């Protein structure tokens, strides 16, 4: 197996991959389709919930059926029952944008302390530098910690928890930061990697347990693995242009899943790329993932 479709999700904009180790389930979202999906590996089907807003990501909390969800209006605690029945919005944890704003959350990860690091963008005009990087701490405080960005994307935290990557997709640039995980602070921002026009745009990404970085290429029809120094070490081509996110899953974290999108493809491109928007699995080339940390805060504002 090099590349295969594992779920025909047909997402407008597939994103937000997250492995829930407690339940052995893979989570993903369709941002513009306003869908949250959960899949038990090996099952031919998945469970799905429709939500009233665009949804960027889902992260696990200490409670089995509760998740922290990145919606258009902000971060919300939601109950997503194991039996697939209707989801319930329990409370808003943080609302970093004004009411009616075109801004939305886009991608997020937790650090070893359970803090949430989440980026944003202007959904109506991605050329505007309205994106920011937010941090939700253990007390439930949501603070803006970096910006501006055109399209903030793909936070990724190293296995040693001493540095973090964050992307401005619009600028084709991945930045590195030093991370003080005890204090929850970033410093020493610098350019880690710039994509060429032929590479497309850097989108979602993740570290493997060996300290290498896997990056999805929007408009580049592939995922790539880079060394800590940003040197290309491996590349896997996919049969669709818009590749959005990458995540390790499975009990041994030795399976690699990739989301894709139909958004931005012409009718001719969609006809030539019938698997656009589906969930793929690719050969991880001997890499394994890092166990995710549940969100460290679960109360309401």
Which residues participate in catalysis according to the annotation?
203
272 phi/psi in degrees, rounded to 5 = -85, -15
Q: Name, in order, each residue with C-beta under 8 angstroms of 31's C-beta and a sequence gap of 6 or more.
A: 12, 13, 14, 15, 16, 54, 55, 56, 106
Q: Name, in order, each residue with C-beta under 8 angstroms of 253's C-beta and a sequence gap of 6 or more.
A: 19, 209, 288, 289, 290, 291
Helical ranges in the chain per DSSP H: 267-272
264: left (phi over 0), alpha (psi -120 to 50) or beta: left
Give ∠ CA 239-1-25 in degrees, rounded to 5. Answer: 90
Cis omega (within 30 of 0) for bond into 141: no
Name the 3-class secondary structure at 271: helix
Pairing verdict, β 88-94 and 222-226: unpaired
Could you tell me which of 100, 32, 29 has the C-alpha nearest to residue 59? 29
Could you tell me which of 148, 79, 157, 173 has the C-alpha nearest to residue 116? 157
User: How far apart, in whole angstroms, are the C-alpha atoms of residue 3 and residue 5?
Assistant: 7
Confirm if 226 and 232 have CB atoms less than 8 A apart.
Answer: yes
Q: Which two tokens stand for residue 170?
A: 């619009």
């Amino acid at each position: 197996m090099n590349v295969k479709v594992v779920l025909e999700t047909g997402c407008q904009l597939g994103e937000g991959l997250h492995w829930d180790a407690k339940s052995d389930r893979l989570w993903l979202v369709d941002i513009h389709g306003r869908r949250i999906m959960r899949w038990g590996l090996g099952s031919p089907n998945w469970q799905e919930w429709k939500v009233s807003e665009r949804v960027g990501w889902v992260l696990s909390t200490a409670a089995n059926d509760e998740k922290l969800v990145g919606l258009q209006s902000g971060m919300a605690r939601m109950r997503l029952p194991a039996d697939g029945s209707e989801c319930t919005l329990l409370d808003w944890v943080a609302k970093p944008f004004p009411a009616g704003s075109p801004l939305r959350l886009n991608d997020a990860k937790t650090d070893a302390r359970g803090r949430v690091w989440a980026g944003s963008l202007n959904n109506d005009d991605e050329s505007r530098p309205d994106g920011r990087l937010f941090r939700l701490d253990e007390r439930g405080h949501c603070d803006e910690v970096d910006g501006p960005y055109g399209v903030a994307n793909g936070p990724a935290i190293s296995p040693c928890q001493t540095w973090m990557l964050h992307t401005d997709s619009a600028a084709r640039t991945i930045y590195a930061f030093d991370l003080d995980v005890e204090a929850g602070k970033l410093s020493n921002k610098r350019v880690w990697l710039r994509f060429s026009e032929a590479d497309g745009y850097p989108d979602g990404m993740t570290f493997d347990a060996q300290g290498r970085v896997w990056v999805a290429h929007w408009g580049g029809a592939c995922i790539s693995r880079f060394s800590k120094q940003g040197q290309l070490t491996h590349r896997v081509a996919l049969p669709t242009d818009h590749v959005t996110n990458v995540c390790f899953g499975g009990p041994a974290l030795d399976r690699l899943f990739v989301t894709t999108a139909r958004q931005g493809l012409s009718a001719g491109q969609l006809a030539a790329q019938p698997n656009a928007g589906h969930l793929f699995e690719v050969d991880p080339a001997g890499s394994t993932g890092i166990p995710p940390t549940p969100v460290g805060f679960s109360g309401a504002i």
